[in-house]
Amino acid sequence: MQFRQKALSKLQSPEEIDLPVRFARPQGWLVLTVTVVAMAAATLWAVNGSVSSTVRAPGILTHAQGSYVLQSPVAGQVTEVLAEEGKRLPAGAPLLKVRTAGAQGGSGADSGTESDTDADAGTDTGGGSGGDSEGESGSRSADKDATVVRTIAPGRVTALVATIGAVVTTGANVAVLERVDDARAPLMAMLYLPADNGSAVPVGARVDLTVQSVPSQQYGVLRGRVKAVGRTSQTRQQITGFLGDGQLAEQFSRQGRPLPVLVELERSSGTKSGYAWSSSEGPPYAVGSMTLATGAVHLADQRPIDWLLP
């Protein structure tokens, strides 16, 4: 068996046996120390630290009871609109008048009689006055036969679909009213979160609302707290029934059936709007209902170690 000369030389040097063995260089010890310190700090942060997360969702400022769509109980032509948009009406208040088909036929017959009488007016003044009398009688009869469409519940008129002269069918939408029992009722915010994120939202969670009509860079965001979380996701028809607006319902359900989250706005006597803002004073004007907003819901803080535990 042959050995390398270098190996034989080492065996012939017994004095080197007492020399210390160097397992690592100083640079290696430095790297190891930094790694251990970093791992210890990460472990301490994972146990005692916390991470906050937010969920953003579109929504709208409204009242807690929502809105309802008023439909015509009869078919006919709108002859008079008795209310204006933005006006608050009690339950049973007249909103508009609809002349039914029977009344329109009677009015046409009266109109024909009046025209015949006017043709004879040049020869008989008495006949002319008689025609006027018959015309007024027909007009009163048509007005008497008109059906008055009344509100079902108290609220504020947010949209008037029917106008004077419009022909409506039975069950046609004629107006949208926001249910408001008291003029001093506070505004709420209704957010529509994705169903997979909504279940993680606890009642009482902080919410920051960016209102569409308020520049957030100048006046900040509106403060609120989660008051209630829906148990199940809602369809577009359900959202329409609450808001009274099919276009908004389509917008909020574009990404699937959302989960409704009701947000109670924080009140403040030091602002013009009467609500608390992230800025000291907020906007110099009041915010109205049916204003679009985007909410950032702050979820409960979590410890990083919880992500690793089952």
pLDDT digits (tens, 9 = 90+) for 15-26: 555 656 566 677
Share of the chain above pLDDT 70, in %: 72
- Chain CA centroid to CA 117, Å: 60
Examine the pLDDT at 108 and tell me if it is beyond 60. no
Share of the chain above pLDDT 90, in %: 40
According to the model, what pLDDT value does residue 201 have? 87
- Chain CA centroid to CA 253, Å: 11
Confirm if 261 and 190 have CB atoms less than 8 A apart: yes
> Domain extents for the chain?
54-65+186-307, 73-171
Q: How many Å apart are CA 252 and CA 246, to the nearest integer?
A: 10
According to the model, what pLDDT value does residue 267 have? 92
pLDDT digits (tens, 9 = 90+) for 191-205: 999 888 777 888 999
**Average pLDDT rounded to a whole number, residues 225-247:** 91
Q: How many Å apart are CA 108 and CA 287, to the nearest integer?
A: 49
According to the model, what pLDDT value does residue 102 have? 61
Least Cα distance to 69 among 181, 180, 174, 164 occurs for 174
Domain 73-171: assigned CATH number = 2.40.50.100
According to the model, what pLDDT value does residue 302 have? 66
Examine the pLDDT at 10 and tell me if it is beyond 70. no
Which tokens belong to 302? 């979590």
Residue 237: beta bridge partners?
A: none
Q: What are phi and psi of 49, to 5 degrees?
A: -80, 175
Q: At what angle do helices 125-145 and 101-119 cross, to 10 degrees?
A: 170
Residue 209: beta bridge partners?
A: 222, 295
According to the model, what pLDDT value does residue 16 have? 55
Under the banding of pLDDT at 50, 70 and 90, the label for residue 299 is confident
According to the model, what pLDDT value does residue 122 have? 38
Tokens 């008037």 appear where?
Answer: 160
- Most confident range, picked from 3-17, 23-37, 172-186, 210-224: 210-224
According to the model, what pLDDT value does residue 32 have? 81
Count Cβ atoms below 10 Å from residue 161 Cβ, excluding itself.
Answer: 15
Task: Tell me which of 3-7, 87-91, 141-145 is least confident.
Answer: 141-145
- Chain CA centroid to CA 193, Å: 10
According to the model, what pLDDT value does residue 277 have? 94
In the chain, helix, strand, coil percent, each to 5? 35, 30, 40
pLDDT digits (tens, 9 = 90+) for 32-64: 888 888 888 887 777 676 666 888 999 999 998
The sheet carrying 173-179 orders its strands as: 67-71, 173-179, 155-160, 88-89
Domain 54-65+186-307: assigned CATH number = 2.40.30.170
